[in-house]
Structure 1
Amino acid sequence: MIGTAIPAGLLPRVGVRALAGVAVLLAAMLGGVVLGETPLPWNTVWAALANNLWDARYLVDPIDQGIIWFYRVPRTLVAAACGAGLALAGVVLQALVRNALADPYLLGVSAGASTGAVAVTIMGVGAGAIGISGGAFLGAALAFGLVSLLARAAGGGPAQMVLAGIAGSQLFNALTSFFIAKSANAEQARGIIFWLLGNLSGVRWPDVTLAAPVAIAGFLACLWHMRALDAFSFGADAASALGIAVRRVQIVLIGAVTLMTATMVSLVGSIGFVGLVIPHAARFLVGPRHGRLIPTAALIGAIFLIAADVVSRMLIPGQVVPIGVVTALVGAPGFALILIRGKVRG
């Protein structure tokens, strides 16, 4: 039997790093609950959490109890799931497309999901047969299919895929604007536009039961195909030569990316740059091997979006800034750094 020797001390180091990462995530989640428009004392947060988790019956103001359990806890959990899901989507797309600039936002998947969600919300597409998440999924799948066909017609290279994604994004963004202008009243239009910029204000516990399972399923699907993703980094032909069932793996992974992106967009709107910048940050820390890259990107994405949500609530006193604005303020310089360092492969 041929085995691979594990260097002495490697497993303990990996375990320590994993525990450190989980500890940082838990600290970020606790910060997401404590910090906000109205900062709450740590002891109040602990008491409220204990009351709901273990029926501890500490004396907590009912208003504070409601803010913590029914508003901030689900908001933080959904932010973590969305950050992890979008980061994973970026990891997968960058491997499949072999382009450092590939992410759901740039390839039009987010724009297609937004169009599908808006079509269901204000135009009644589907006549109630599909929900907002279903409409977002169909829109995301349609957008990715259209972008793929356009890129193949233009030559099929990584650069053509990104250019086709930009064209697809513009098309679906225009369709979204048309639907809003045609069917939404002034109040609906204002709410939808704010939602499209990224907004977790309306997130509640039912959204957690949708976002968390999708993020976990997407994570497991990516982890299951980590060796295939390593092979795809060298091209589909190389993956096929190594015995990878290219078409099947592509369908599974693209389906996972589409599902994660559509679910997150349907819940919190279109949030850019998470799927673009976070995978590069993870590669900088752990290298390109997907066995390490996938959990690291998911962890960093979750922490990043929780932190961005906290900033969005505290940046302007008395007003919540769309979270997409905060991610863009961080992601745009990161995007520029990727370009300057010459990481783009065309």
Structure 2
Amino acid sequence: WLVPVAAFAGGALAIGLTYALARPGKGSGNATLLLVGIAMAAFCSALIGFLTYIASESELQSLVFWQMGSLARANWADVAAVVPLFAIGVFALQRLATPLDMLALGERQAQHLGLDVTRTRRRLVAFSALLVGAAVAFAGSISFVGLVVPHVARLLVGPGHRWLLPLSGLLGALLIVVADTAARTLDPPAEIPLGLFSAALGAPFFLWLVLQQRRKVAP
């Protein structure tokens, strides 16, 4: 369990540093948070590259396989460890559905409605970090699920977060199961890394969503 624990701790530390350095709500906006996040991601990528460089052959194989994302090594002990974290994160975020709807109107409008934007944002970052850290710690990096699925869910139920949040979770889980099944059956006995498979499917679909949105905005 050392690798999942270290992955979760590292992810939480990176998110905490990003939030602390950006200091949202202290005169800096979302652009500053985004730029600090990009810089932190570049630093973490460099650190991972260094660890990959000094790793032994067996460690390198495990590290690369984990970076590509996979459920091949999943077991019930991992599920038992993840479920409590997911239950806490999902319950907490669902209680923030109304504040999220208010934030969607804009920070200034949300403040006029009585929302403590800084406190709400901190809670969102904390619980999102809990969910993302738990998932990536055990399954590795699986690309484009978090980009594509919420857009699909929004097309189905609209922008209201009361239904958008649970539907996004269910659709994301369904997509992972379908993609993992396809990755295991397309080229048996070999298994295509789940992260590569999801990126190959998700990237074109995400580009299609962007183009569709541009057509709606264009005069």
| 1:225 shift after superposition | 0.9
Q: 1:231 aligns with which of 102, 106, 110?
A: 102
Q: Does 1:170 align with 2:36?
A: no
Unmatched 5+ residue regions in structure 2? Answer: 215-219
Q: 2:180 aligns with which of 309, 312, 315?
A: 309
Q: Does 1:203 align with 2:74?
A: yes
Identity %: 36
Q: Does 1:298 align with 2:176?
A: no
How many residue pairs align between the two structures? 212
Cα distance between partner residues in 2 of 1:133 and 1:257: 17
Equivalence for 2:217: none
Q: 2:62 aligns with which of 191, 208, 217?
A: 191
- Structure 1 residues 336 and 157, CA, compared in 2 at 3 Å: closer, same or farther? farther
Q: Max radius of gyration: which structure?
A: 1
- Higher helix proportion: 2
2:144–2:199 Cα contact (<8 Å) kept = yes
| 1:200 shift after superposition | 1.1
TM-score norm. by structure 2 comes to 0.86
Cα distance between partner residues in 2 of 1:143 and 1:311: 33
Q: Does 1:180 align with 2:66?
A: no
Amino acid at match of 1:176: I
- Structure 1 residues 185 and 207, CA, compared in 2 at 3 Å: closer, same or farther? same
Q: Does 1:324 align with 2:195?
A: yes
SS at match of 1:341: helix
Cα distance between partner residues in 2 of 1:214 and 1:202: 19
Q: 2:92 aligns with which of 217, 221, 226?
A: 221
Moved more, 216-225 or 143-152: 143-152
| 1:276 shift after superposition | 0.9
Moved more, 277-286 or 132-141: 132-141
What value does the CA root-mean-square deviation take over the aligned residues?
Answer: 2.4
Unmatched 5+ residue regions in structure 1? Answer: 1-120, 122-130
TM-score norm. by structure 1 comes to 0.56
SS at match of 1:200: coil
